[in-house]
Amino acid sequence: MQNKEEPSNVGKPNEESTNAVNPADDENQKSFREQAIEAYEKDKARQEQIKKENAEAFRRKAEKAFFELFDIPTTASTAMDRHQAAVYVADQKFVARKALDGVCVFYTMVKCTQCKKALTASNTIATLREIGRDLSTKYLCDKCKEKERKEEEPVFQSTADLVLEKVREIYDLVREE
């Protein structure tokens, strides 16, 4: 006694919905994957090229700034001449140097000329800007700069000391006459 009729294809795979792989669809899917992989590889290569170009541009800017700071002619006949000039300047001003990706990075070991303490990085940068091309400039730390500034300030005398000094000057003038 069945009131409902069951469809005859219950439990049987439908011919329209079978998961059979169509060879044309499979080839399309493979070609789509290959195109996606190729696009990814091209994009990755383009990103690497941009990164290299940016690094090269940075290197050129750093080199130009270094040569301008220490008055090294950028029109030197060869890169080797510029390198030798840079090494000469580095030997004159700095203790250690290290090359990173073709850019010379100089680590300064500048010491205060009075107390012989190593300057902080900010003081070193400021000092290098101050000295520019002059090797005889003083290197001073903050404490020594403060001491020097206090020594250069005029000492204000009290009014009594000024009056006494004027009286002595007048007395000396009268004695001479």
How do residues 90-145 score in pLDDT, each as one tens digit? 554 443 343 333 334 344 455 677 777 765 544 444 444 444 434 445 667 778 88
Residue with tokens 């800007």: 129
CA distances from 7 to 13, 17, 80, 136 (A): 12, 16, 89, 103
Task: Give pLDDT, residue 50.
Answer: 92
Domain regions of the chain by residue span: 38-107, 108-167
Among residues 98, 119, 100, 97, the alpha carbon closest in space to that of 110 is found at: 119
Evaluated on CA atoms 46, 49, 53, 55, the torsion sign reads positive
Lowest mean pLDDT among 72-76, 113-117, 156-160: 72-76
